[in-house]
Amino acid sequence: MSSRQNEQQQQLQSQLQNSQHINYAPPISEAPNPIQQSDRRNPQQQSISHYVANRDLAVSQYYQSPMVNPPGGPIFLEPSTEVFNPGRQIQQNEGIIRQPSVGAPIRRGGGVDKINGLSGVFIKQKVEILEAATTCETENIYHIFALDDDMRKKGPLLFRCKERSTTCSRFCLPGECRPFQMTVSKVSFGHEDSGSEPFLSLERPCRWTCLCCNRPEVKVTLVEAGQSEYLGKIVDHWNLCDRVFDIHDRENAKQYVIAGGCCQVGFWCRCICDPCQKIDFSVKSPSGETISRVQKRSPGVVQTYVTDADFFALEFPKNSTATEKALLMSAVLFLDYRLFEGKIQKKR
Mapping DSSP onto H, E and C, the string for 258-316 reads: EEECCCCHHHCCCCCCHHHHEEEEEEECCCCCEEEEEEEECCCHHHHHHCCCCEEEEEC
- pLDDT score at 307: 52
For residue 214, name the pLDDT band (cuts at 50, 70, 90): confident
pLDDT of residue 257: 96
- Residue pair 100/82 in contact (Cβ under 8 Å)? The answer is yes
Q: Is the pLDDT of residue 279 over 60?
A: yes
308 pLDDT tier (thresholds 50, 70, 90):
low
The helix/strand/coil state of 192 is helix
Would the pLDDT of 238 be above 90? no
Band (229; pLDDT cuts 50, 70, 90): very high
The winner for highest mean pLDDT among 29-43, 128-142, 324-338 is 324-338
179 pLDDT exceeds 50? yes
In this structure, the number of other CB atoms found within 10 A of the CB of residue 304 comes to: 20
pLDDT at residue 275, as a whole number = 75
Task: Give the span between the Cα atoms of 174 and 158, in whole angstroms.
Answer: 29
**Residue scoring higher pLDDT (348 or 3):** 3
Using pLDDT thresholds of 50, 70 and 90, give the confidence band for residue 47: low
pTM of the predicted protein model: 0.66
> Where residue 68 falls among pLDDT bands split at 50, 70, 90?
very low
Q: Which DSSP state fits 173?
A: S
Angular region, 309: left φ>0, alpha ψ -120 to 50, beta rest: beta
Report how far apart, in Å, the C-alpha atoms of 285 and of each of 21, 119, 320, 335, 344 are: 97, 17, 11, 18, 33
Residue 146 resides in a domain: yes
At 154 the pLDDT is 92
Spell out the long-range contacts of 289-294 with Cβ–Cβ below 8 A and sequence spacing 24 or more.
Answer: 291/256, 291/317, 291/318, 292/316, 292/317, 294/258, 294/332, 294/335
Q: How far apart (Å, rounded) are the C-alpha atoms in residues 53 and 124? A: 73
Number of domains within the chain: 1
Q: Is position 60 within any domain?
A: no
- What is the arithmetic mean of pLDDT over 82-106? 39
pLDDT at position 75? 46
In angstroms, the Cα distances linking 60 to 35, 57, 63, 70, 86 are 14, 5, 5, 11, 33
* pLDDT-derived band at 58, boundaries 50, 70, 90: low
**Residue 287: per-residue pLDDT:** 94
In-domain check, residue 263 = yes
Q: What is the mean pLDDT of the chain?
A: 75
* Cα separations in angstroms, 173 against 158, 168, 231: 31, 8, 28
CA distance 128 to 341: 13
Domain residues for the domain of 213 are 121-347
Would you state the pLDDT for residue 180?
A: 93
Q: How confident is the model at residue 318 (pLDDT cuts 50, 70, 90)?
A: very high
Res 280: pLDDT: 94
